[in-house]
C-alpha cells in the first residue's frame, strides 16, 4: 500500500536562509509520526510546505499517490490533507457550534448557498454537534470562542480540522501551552482519533511524543537528522547532542 503522504527532495530558502533542505518523508496509512527538533529547525515551515501555505523551491509532495505540489491550500484540504495551528487560529466571535458547522458546510459544498437557512442543513448541524461532543466541547459549544479556556480552544483547533474529514492530519504542537490539568482531555482526544486518519504531529512535550508516536523524525537546521522508533531516537547520540541536550534526560522516556 502506498504512503498516505510523502515528500521528496523538498527545498525552501528565504534569501540566504535555508529553511528546508532535501526533505524526504513517508507517512504510512494510519500512522502516528512525530516531528521533533529544536526551535528554528524548520518543523512549522515543513508543515507550511506540505499544506501549500508556502511553495517549495524544489521537490515533490504526494497525497496517497497524487502529486499535490502545485495545488493551493484549500484544494489540498478538499483532498483530505488538513492541519491545525500552533497558535490558535480560530474565529473569536463565532461559537464552537457555528465554527464547526461552517467547516462541515464548506466540506459539503453548500457554503455558497446564500438563499438557504443554516437550519435547513440539519445533518451538517448534527455532525458538527457530534464532533464537538466527541471532543468534550458539547457543553461549551454556544459560548463565543474568545471566552473559552485555552485548553478548550486547543480542542476546537482539532474539532475544526476533523470537520473537514481529513485523511492526513498535521497537528502543529497540539499541546502547546495547555496547562497540566487541562492536558488529560487533549491526550484522550488524540488517542481516540480514528485509525483511518494518518497523523503527523509536531510537539515539544516529550510525554506526548513518546506516548503517541510510532516513529519519530528529528529535524535540525532545515534537514532531517534521523528517523526511527522512539527507542532508537531516545538512544541516538546525535539526537541527544543537538536536541535533548548532552545531559541525556530524554533517555528516561526510552
Partner 1 sequence: MSVTAVSSPHAYLRAQARWHPIEIAFWLATLTPYYLFPDYLVLASQIAITALFALSLDLILGYAGIVSLGHAAFFGLGAYTAGLAAKHGWGEPISGLVLGAIVAGIVGYAASFIISRFRHLALIMITLGMGLLLEQAANSASWLTGGADGLQGVKMWPIFNTFRFDLYGYTAYTYSLIVLFLVFLVARRIINSPFGLSLRGIRENAIRMPALGAPSRAHIRAIYTIAAVMAGVAGALLAQTTETVSLEALGFQRSADVLVILILGGTGRLYGGLIGAIIFMVARDQFSGNTPQFWYFWIGALLVAVVMFLPNGILGGLARLTASWRRRA
* 95-103, 175-183, 212-220, 227-235 -> range binding partner 1 (CB under 8 A): 95-103
Residue 71 touching partner 1 (CB under 8 A): no
Residues 22, 191: Cα–Cα separation, whole Å: 31
Least Cβ distance, residue 32 to partner 1 (angstroms) = 21
- For residues 188 and 185, give the distance between their C-alpha atoms in angstroms, rounded to a whole number: 5
Options 128, 169, 190, 234; binder of partner 1; rule CB under 8 A:
128
Residues 6 or more apart from 237 whose CB is under 8 A from it? none
Say whether residue 106 binds partner 1 (CB under 8 A).
Answer: yes
Residue 209, interface with partner 1 (CB under 8 A)?
A: no
For residues 198 and 167, is the Cβ–Cβ distance under 8 A? Answer: yes
Specify whether the CB–CB gap between 186 and 207 falls below 8 A: no
Kindly state whether residue 123 participates in binding partner 1, applying the rule CB under 8 A: no
Q: Which three cell numbers mark 131?
A: 464532533
Three-state DSSP class for residue 202: strand
Q: In the range 165-184, which residues lie near partner 1 by CB under 8 A?
A: none
* CB of residue 151 to partner 1, shortest distance in Å: 19
Cα Dmax for the chain:
63
Q: For residues 101 and 198, which CB has a smaller minimum distance to partner 1 in the complex?
A: 101
Contacts by residues 228-235 (CB-CB < 8 Å, ≥ 24 positions apart): 230/254, 234/210
The three grid cell numbers given for residue 83, joined into one nine-digit string: 492541519
Which of 21, 62, 78, 253 binds partner 1 (CB under 8 A)? It is: 78
Among 16, 119, 192, 247, binds partner 1 (CB under 8 A): 119
- Return residues touching partner 1 (CB under 8 A): 51, 72-75, 77-78, 82-83, 85, 89-94, 97-99, 101-103, 105-107, 110-119, 121-122, 124-126, 128-129, 139, 141-143, 160, 163-164
Amino acid at each position: 500500500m502506498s504512503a498516505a503522504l510523502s515528500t521528496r527532495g523538498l527545498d525552501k530558502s528565504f534569501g540566504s536562509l535555508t529553511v528546508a533542505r532535501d526533505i524526504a518523508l513517508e507517512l504510512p496509512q494510519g500512522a502516528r509520526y512525530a516531528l521533533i527538533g529544536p526551535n528554528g529547525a524548520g518543523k512549522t515551515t515543513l508543515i507550511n510546505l506540505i499544506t501549500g501555505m508556502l511553495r517549495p523551491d524544489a521537490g515533490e509532495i504526494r497525497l496517497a499517490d497524487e502529486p499535490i505540489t502545485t495545488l493551493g491550500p484549500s484544494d489540498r484540504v478538499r483532498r483530505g490533507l488538513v492541519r491545525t495551528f500552533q497558535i490558535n487560529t480560530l474565529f473569536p466571535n463565532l461559537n464552537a457550534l457555528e465554527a464547526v458547522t461552517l467547516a462541515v458546510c464548506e466540506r459539503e459544498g453548500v457554503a455558497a448557498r446564500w438563499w438557504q437557512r443554516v437550519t435547513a442543513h440539519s445533518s451538517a448541524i448534527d455532525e458538527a454537534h457530534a464532533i464537538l461532543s466527541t471532543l468534550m466541547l458539547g457543553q461549551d459549544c454556544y459560548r463565543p470562542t474568545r471566552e473559552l479556556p485555552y485548553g478548550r480552544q486547543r480542542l476546537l483547533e482539532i474539532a475544526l480540522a476533523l470537520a473537514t474529514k481529513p485523511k492526513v492530519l498535521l497537528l502543529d504542537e497540539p499541546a502547546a501551552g495547555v496547562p497540566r490539568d487541562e492536558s488529560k482531555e487533549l491526550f484522550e482526544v488524540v488517542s481516540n482519533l480514528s485509525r483511518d486518519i494518518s497523523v503527523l504531529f509536531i510537539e515539544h512535550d516529550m510525554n506526548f511524543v513518546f506516548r503517541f508516536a510510532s516513529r519519530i523524525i528529528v529535524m535540525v537546521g532545515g534537514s532531517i537528522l534521523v528517523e526511527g522508533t522512539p527507542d532508537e531516537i531516545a538512544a541516538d547520540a546525535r539526537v541527544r547532542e543537538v536536541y535533548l541536550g548532552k545531559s541525556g534526560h530524554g533517555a528516561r522516556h526510552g
